[in-house]
Structure 1
């Protein structure tokens, strides 16, 4: 059984302020927790119900395990249908982004992405296409937001997410910068090459003016129907697929 102070701490992690203050975030669901236990992240404690206790034997003995009631799981979960396993994971202090590590490959750049679901789906998409790094503007949604973590389905354990001042960082990276814009060139006619940065803009406003000035090639997904725009996560998946296809030629 969890104490009131434990419940208070765990529920406070739904908010960025307290995640940063305490240095932890939550991962919900057995599969996602397993992904983090086998990664560079440090899983501090795994809270689980008695029903799923036998599965805990598959996880590292270095982790603290605490069996709690289904009612306590409901109290700390952010999901409408709570999972039977919740992991308390330490927020790591990553080294400063090494720009040279981004060369000879493609990386994503996110400019003020705000929706947690979109952010999580983009991270999962990056993992699918073998993209190791995502560079985010400082005002992009927090990667440890519970909805972001849930939407990644464990992919956050494998993808590096960096936050920085994009206007200062992008010129220093010195790679081709492709920006998703409505007035860009057809992606199916674009020679992407083997390295570069793909910039995706805010859901409502697109790429900001100070970042647009740094783009070397504006690209667009050709429209065949009448929809005004594509969801940013879907657009990212289409663009990543085309970049990957180009690299396999």
Structure 2
């Protein structure tokens, strides 16, 4: 299959899975192996195409991000009743620090089908633990999230550096274990994903600059645009579904997916 059509398929996969607790990167790595789209360029594509899905969140929550530009209010550390830039910074710092420290190691050792299958299972177990826990909810809505909870969610986000673990899976689960409702944790995850993914994409493009050429621009743009459109629909749908669906169902899906791909790729 041509790289262009592989990029389209992977863009669809990314848009559908980026904000579900099932790991978009894991899905793209496994799908890429089925399509024969592998190698260093494919690894960079799998990072960059996520930007399309993140742009969808930027569009859907544009009023919230415009509000962050009110720095006086956003950086009022004593502010209560509204998520502000300090919440965002606390949630971002752990993943940024750890990501910068181990970025090259992760890309070299963890971007493979075997490690993804393991993380799908381990991440699924975390989701079930969070879903079955009976932690008292102290943040029913996103704006109820405290600074302490925001930092804790940021620590859980570090788990997402392992491809297949899922950013949304780790942060939603972490938020629930820290006392946030499923919906509050999900919406906060969406917001935090924007600056984190912009930074990750920029870093990966810079480090991979010698591996790419203008000939690659077409497939990168195609994948990005497709993931943006699909993610716009997926985010709205997920927020409606998550009100009625237990998070554990996503864990069961992860277990089945890991089993199916284990049979396809290793037996």
> What range is the shorter-chain TM-score in?
under 0.3
Give the TM-score of the pair, scaled to structure 1.
0.26
Q: Which has the higher helix share?
A: 2
Greater fraction of residues in strand: 1
RCO higher in structure (CA 8 A, sep ≥6): 2
TM-score by length of 2: 0.25
